[in-house]
Amino acid sequence: GFHSGKDINIVVAGMKGVGKSALTVRYLTRRFIGDYDSEMEAVYTHNTVLDGKSLTVHILDTAWQGDGTEIKEDQILWADAIVLVYSITDRTSFEKLREIADFVLSKRSDETKLVMTLVSNKCDLIHMQKVSEVEVTQFCAEYNCLFFEASASESSASVLNAFNGTCRQVRLTNRKR
């Protein structure tokens, strides 16, 4: 396949409406585009430089089906990193991530090499915050996740930080890169 040593494959997962597509497109274009076809799954390839080393990132922006079919086993095996996205305004979207994370880990025997990061999106809507810091800290400890706060609508820097942080963690985890 197109998995060369330097490439990093990222699966963006989470409930419908949390901003997976908005985050992905913000990372790729530095722009916020408000609305996407949520039925559509897409893979993007992005060439960039990170920490002085060239990097090719493949991002699978998953489409939420709500029936457990949104991430296929071969996609989980393909991934170097899973970015778990919830919206700070939606408790259910946070709670759903346990199911997704458990499912992902059940398909990976080499789970130590899979990077998982947790991204809380829509941080511009802080006044509508429904998920506490304690819960987030606990989730990250339980699933060994790095945590990033982001707003796809307000801040390119926050989104870059989340994706770059994920890629750095893959490089650290996978010393061949």
Residue numbers at the binding site for ligand GDP (CB under 6 A): 14, 16-22, 34-36, 38, 64, 121-122, 124-125, 151-153
Window 109-148: residues binding Mg ion (CB under 5 A): none
Using the minimum distance from each CB to ligand GDP, give the nearer residue, 126 or 172: 126
Smallest gap from Cβ 21 to ligand GDP, in A, equals 3
Sign of CA dihedral 43, 48, 49, 54: positive
Using the minimum distance from each CB to Mg ion, give the nearer residue, 36 or 103: 36
26 binds, among ligand GDP, Mg ion, none (CB under 5 to 8 A by kind): none
Per-residue contact flags (x/-) with Mg ion for residues 24 to 63, judged by CB under 5 A: ------------x-x-------------------------
Residue 93 is a binding residue for Mg ion (CB under 5 A): no
- What residue ranges bind Mg ion (CB under 5 A)? 20-21, 36, 38
